[in-house]
A and B are shown apart, each in its own frame.
Chain A
Amino acid sequence: MNPLLAFQLRRVARNKQFVFFTVLLPALFTIFLTRIIGGQMPGMAERQEISASIMVSMMAYGAIGASLGATIRISFDRASGWLRQLRVTPVPQTQVFAVDVVVGVLLALPSLLVVAFVGRVVNGVQLPAGTWLALLAVLWAGSAAFVALGLLVGLALDEKAAGGAIGILGVVLAALGGLWWPVEMLPEAMRGLAYTLPSYWYAELGRGVATGGWPAAGAVLAMAGFTAAFGFVAVSVARKRPLHAVAG
């Protein structure tokens, strides 16, 4: 494995907050929400459906948190002077950037796997084997949008602003994007807002697959669009403000 990649992965794994918010919390939410909401459902079929839906939402929630949380760290590494220090070693700058992208992509996977495991084992969600794999695959691929968004925020904002932004972004994306409750429960005006958020389309991507079909074309297009847009802006910001710049 690339030494810098191993180094970065180990650093994130040591961050207890990261592990708590991206793996443990979504897993616990999956259990509690299913107990509370699923328990009110009259029949087995409805209970199955709501369990699967909650699981997909929480997979999305965990993966979003992990992708954002892992990549936004580039802002902290800039603030500490570590990126500047790395810049005067033979490690190429493109590698520093690429490794953070890979770290973001890789770290979305534990959240997806753990929540899916909890969904299957604790909540009894039943899906055909192929559907499980397809669900993990589309949600893993879709997390690229949030890797790009996290890098964008991490590159554009300073340490404190980035630290605040991640909390706000996580809550906004989850609450307004329909991950903590279905968008149908939101007032009309806010429902419109949900359709503009990547988190909504990300969960839609998963729900399309979990119900045994293909992901909706609209969801695929939306996610591709968000990924391209966030990625483009992130690269433009990186060009304007090199990784080693201390401030400004």
Chain B
Amino acid sequence: MPPAPALDIRGLTVRYGDAVAVDSLDLTIPRGQTVALLGPNGAGKSTTVNAVLGLLDPAAGEVRVLGRTPRDAVRAGSIGAMLQHGGLPTETRVGEVLHLVRRSFGRAAGEGTWPLGDLVATAGIDGLLDRPVEALSGGQRQRVLLALALVGAPPLLLLDEPTSAMDVEARRAFWTTMRGLAGRGHTVVFATHHLDEADAVADRVVVVSWPVAASSPTARRPRSRPAPAGARSPSPPPPRGGSTTSPGSAR
């Protein structure tokens, strides 16, 4: 039996009240791939990420992370996540927060976490360990949140718009880091609305754009070439009730 894929999503449907945020999404990501979830704001990227983390209960469908339920995978230390609405605690220093999260991963996985010196260099938080959280700039905060996602050396990294608060320079450094991680065998899944970013970094681009198909066949093959412009550009969606012939549509 082959090992369970890093991420296996089947028929995922998420509703907020009457609104459908994600409609029967199917997506399988083998271990070691770097995958971009590309789509305009409101396309359902964050919803998908949150469902994979078990932060919300889907109306239908199933999510398996390395063969486990989302909650079990998080508890087992299999996922490191950078959230859009994640944050840092007040009255702490960066190093203390890192230490706390690192210990929780160490216990769960019963194995090595990321070596601290290496992590500091990788996440670009050199000189920040002793800094009070309140004294961080937006970009620094973002990098600390990245370090928190990495600190447990989890097999699956889920990053929701990780570069949104970064300048061009930081962005470039960030993606160099991500490529390095993928090289070490981590599975990296990130949400973005930048086509160039998705294209430059990912082995595979999955378009999340209601009601156009998510994970179109073109996007499914590794290192995909740009799909036809219509499928990728974040153009305003056609009116609801239009042709949603593809099985995996998300908004």
A residues near B (Cβ < 8 Å) are 3-4, 7, 10-12, 14-15, 76-77, 80-82, 84-85, 87-92, 244, 246
Q: Are B74 and A15 in contact (CB under 8 A)?
A: no
* Residues of chain A lying within 8 A (CB to CB) of residue B105: 89-90
Counting contact residues on chain B (CB < 8 A from A), the size range is 20 to 34
Is B79's beta carbon under 8 Å from chain A?
yes
B residues near A (Cβ < 8 Å) are 53, 55, 74-77, 79-81, 83, 85-92, 96, 99-101, 103-105, 107-109, 145, 148, 152
Q: Are A85 and B145 in contact (CB under 8 A)?
A: yes
* Residues of chain B lying within 8 A (CB to CB) of residue A11: 89-92
A-B contact count (CB 8 A): 76
CA–CA, A90 to B79, complex, Å? 9
Q: Are B104 and A89 in contact (CB under 8 A)?
A: yes
Q: Are A76 and B90 in contact (CB under 8 A)?
A: yes
Known: A89-B104, A90-B75. A81 touches B83 (CB 8 A): yes
Known: A89-B105, A92-B75. A84 touches B96 (CB 8 A): no
Which B residue sits closest to A88, measured CB to CB? B81
CA–CA, A88 to B49, complex, Å? 11
CA–CA, A186 to B79, complex, Å? 59
* Residues of chain B lying within 8 A (CB to CB) of residue A4: 100, 104
9 interchain residue pairs of minimum CB distance: A81-B87, A90-B108, A80-B87, A85-B86, A88-B81, A11-B91, A82-B89, A14-B91, A90-B77
Q: Are A244 and B89 in contact (CB under 8 A)?
A: no
CA–CA, A76 to B90, complex, Å? 9
Interface residue from B53, B76, B100, B109 paired with A88 (Cβ < 8 Å): B53
* Residues of chain B lying within 8 A (CB to CB) of residue A76: 90
Q: Are B104 and A88 in contact (CB under 8 A)?
A: no
Q: Are A246 and B74 in contact (CB under 8 A)?
A: no
* Residues of chain A lying within 8 A (CB to CB) of residue B79: 88
Q: Are A3 and B100 in contact (CB under 8 A)?
A: yes
Known: A7-B92, A76-B90. A90 touches B152 (CB 8 A): yes
Given contacts A85-B88, A89-B101, 9 further A-B contacts (CB under 8 A): A3-B104, A4-B104, A82-B89, A84-B85, A84-B87, A88-B81, A88-B83, A90-B75, A90-B105
Q: Are B76 and A80 in contact (CB under 8 A)?
A: no
